[in-house]
Amino acid sequence: MTAKEVYANLGEDYEEVLSRLMNEERITKYLKKFVVEDYTTKMKESIAEKNWEEAFRIAHSLKGMGMNMGTAKLYNSCETLCDALRNGEPTVDISDMVSQVSAEYAKIVEQVALL
């Protein structure tokens, strides 16, 4: 599978990422780095421990990676979660937000495993 096919399967804009990273090899390299660590498990653990600062840091890191790698769906779901975590303990139920971030990240991991 190619990086272009990964983006097509994810419903994301390969051409936008290609315009920044310049070639398929570089995109593939960074996609593989993107999924080395299970960020969502660490984020969920931080939330369970009520370590809101760490949960925000992880969500914010995922948001940045989503933006840099052109995975808009992950970026958007992380942006919503970051907003809820920005000032510490959230004032709203974040369980659906966490589930959305986890689901989007899992889709990326699944596709990158096919590279």
CA distance 33 to 50: 28
Q: Maximum distance among all alpha carbons in the chain?
A: 43
User: What is the reported pTM?
Assistant: 0.94
pLDDT of residue 115: 94
pLDDT (tens, 9 = 90+) of the chain, 115 residues, equals 999 999 999 999 999 999 999 999 999 999 999 888 899 999 999 999 999 999 999 999 999 999 999 999 999 999 999 999 999 999 999 999 999 999 999 999 999 999 9
CB atoms within 10 A of CB 93: 9
CA atoms within 13 A on the CB side of 110: 8
Would you kindly state where each structural domain of the chain is located, as residue ranges?
3-112
The pLDDT value recorded for residue 74 is 98
Count how many Cα atoms sit within 13 Å of the Cα of residue 6 in the half-sphere of its side chain. 24
Q: What is the pLDDT of residue 70?
A: 96
Q: 3-112, what's its fold?
A: Four Helix Bundle (Hemerythrin (Met), subunit A) (1.20.120)
Distance of alpha carbon 111 from alpha carbon 32, whole angstroms: 10
